[in-house]
Structures are given as C-alpha cells and as structure tokens.
Amino acid sequence: MTIEADADVASGTKVKMTVKSKKDQSIKADLTVTVYSLKTPVVDIGFDGYPKTADNDWFKAVKNGQATVTYTNSAGTRNLTLDQNAEAYGRRNYVYYTTEGYVKNVKFAVERPASGDIYRIKVDGYKTVKLISKSSYTPRFNKIEIE
C-alpha cells in the first residue's frame, strides 16, 4: 500500500492512521508512520562506463552490503551479492563490488552480460539508481536514471 502525504506534511512528521475492516467495523489497526522524503544519490557514469559517486554515505552503504542490487535481463530478475574480491579473482557469478581510488565506483560481474540489461541499486533512504548496460562484453553503461 502506498500512502501519499498531503503537500503540507514535512519530512520527519509522524502521522497516525486507523485502518478498519470493511466487513467488521470493530476490527481495526492503529498505525503511526513517519513521512520522509528520499534523498537523491549523487551518481554519474564515469569515463570508463562504470557508475561513479561522490556521495560518501550512499557509497558506504553499497560498499558495506546495505544495498539491494538487482540484475534484469531477458530471463528475469535476480539479486546480486556483494563480493569485494570479484575483480581480483575474475568472478562472474552474479555479484557486485566497489572500487575506491581517485573515483568511487560500483561494478558488476555477471554471466553473459548483454546490451540493454538493467541493474538497480537500492539503498534505504535514497531513490533507486537504475543503470542500462551498453555492452555485451562487460557491464558498462551510458545511461543512468534515478527512480
């Protein structure tokens, strides 16, 4: 269920709601929710075709495995797992990893990547980063969307 706040409700405001049964009005649940707005991560495509970021909090969450990273191709959608050793060992077993140096990158290792494959990075408190692959050799990108 998605509940949209009124325009005058500020982020961080607590709102109490009551949900009642249509069949039996004596059955109800009182809920308190906190309205918040999602941050937009600062993510771009680097010259090498990989997503790069200057957003330290977002990158830290991805690097520490606090992100949900998915991969969608013609066969369906699957979750990728964090494996910081993937690059060193040439693993391609549906993982993601981060690199840090002059630029902070997120990279992916999957079997048989194809142009048009979609990768999504979801971090709590942030909008989702959607990447569309431009390469059939390795997951590299030329398009990024914030959802």
Amino acid 41: pLDDT = 95
User: 106 phi and psi, to 5 degrees?
Assistant: -115, 130
Asked whether the whole model's pTM tops 0.85, one would answer: no
Tens digit of each residue's pLDDT, the chain (147 residues)? 555 655 566 677 787 888 888 888 889 888 887 777 889 999 999 988 999 999 999 999 999 999 999 999 989 999 999 998 877 666 678 999 999 988 999 999 888 889 999 999 999 989 999 999 998 878 889 889 999
CA neighbor of 66 nearest in space, from 122, 107, 108, 110: 122
Pairs from 74-78 (Cβ < 8 Å, separation ≥ 24): 74/114
